Amino acid sequence: MNVGVIGSTGYAGQQLVWLLNNHKEVNISFLASHSYSDNIYSSIYKNYRDFMQDICINIHEVYESLSSVDIVFIALPHGKSMEITKKLLSKGVKVIDLGADFRLKSLKMYEQWYELSHKKKDLLTESIYGLPELHKDSIRNAKIVANPGCYPTASILALAPLIKNNLIDISTIVIDAKSGVSGAGRALNLGTLFCECNESVKAYKVGEHRHTPEIEQELSLLANKEITLLFTPHLIPMNRGILATCYSRATKKLSSDDLHDIYREFYFEDYFIRIGEDIPETKWVRGSNFCDIGMRFDKRSGNIVIVSAIDNLIKGAAGQALQNMNIMCGFDEWEGLNFPSMIP
């Protein structure tokens, strides 16, 4: 497949380039960057020295390079993908958008949470939410795939089997999630400077994080009724990784063995989901496309506790985008992604 990457020099874009460069069925046709156009990619990320000599192009040059391109990945901030996606589709090019512009089906919810007017609302009905473990069949024939956010990926995968099997009181869901600093992107930000975030853990955007409606949307689809939940993100002083601890009151008594059986059955065909007896840690998934899930039933309180761990830049962004591409193109789902995490 001939692919292009718009927004190739952000953290998610760079991770995507790394994965595509190691995919045996992919040829990178172009790398586009607003901030670094006309620069050699390996001069921006020197880990590519002697591996890549591609020169970054600007967005206007992208449209001149589409005749031989099958799929374009867009890794831009919210609000930046709408016009680009419309133009790419008109040229017969499929789009995998790593941003937020096509994740929410409700125009009202998008404009409320992102405080932006959606310029291409007609495309919302065409887009497929790109969580393969829930929407694989729809992804196969999609022209636009909205790659999920990192927090939603970890949270939805943790809770989906419980909701699908009616095992929890959906009015009691609480998600406590923690992310490494790379989740904030590569742009300069006072809150993510080393001296500001090192040796500290903080909750942020409490009650107002933009991933909240995304999580609620997908879990509501599984429940066949509207879900409102409490989601609180935290910043952890590490480079990458997300740990989501999800709580909810059980609707019946369950043992931990029961829970493991339910989860293993639900994710039986999903290569990148690993159900374990232990509680996950981010270090066991760092640098991989795996989502580790562990669980406990707290008999004393009657609550189920589910913990999931992912790499926010891979299963939470670039790896999932590549997984979606594999499904769209009929490749093995794990092609270019079949490797464990790197330790330490």
Q: Which residues contact 302 (CB under 8 A, 6 or more apart)?
A: 249, 250
Asked whether the beta carbons of 1 and 73 are under 8 A apart, the reply is: no
240 vs 287: CA distance, rounded Å: 8
Half-sphere exposure of 192 (CA within 13 A, CB side): 17
Q: Which DSSP letter does residue 23 get?
A: -
DSSP line for 177-218: EEE-GGGG-SS--GGGSHHHHTT--EE-STTT-TTHHHHHHH
Q: Closest by alpha carbon to 277, among 261, 300, 266?
A: 261
Pairing of strands 273-275, 291-298: parallel
Catalytic residue among 150, 197, 246, 291: 150
| Beta sheet of 291-298, edge-to-edge order | 202-203, 230-235, 174-179, 242-249, 303-310, 291-298, 273-275
Asked whether the beta carbons of 321 and 308 are under 8 A apart, the reply is: no
Helices 319-329, 132-140: axis angle to 10 degrees equals 40
Asked whether the beta carbons of 323 and 333 are under 8 A apart, the reply is: yes
Active site residue 195: no
Asked whether the beta carbons of 208 and 218 are under 8 A apart, the reply is: no
The set of catalytic residues is 150
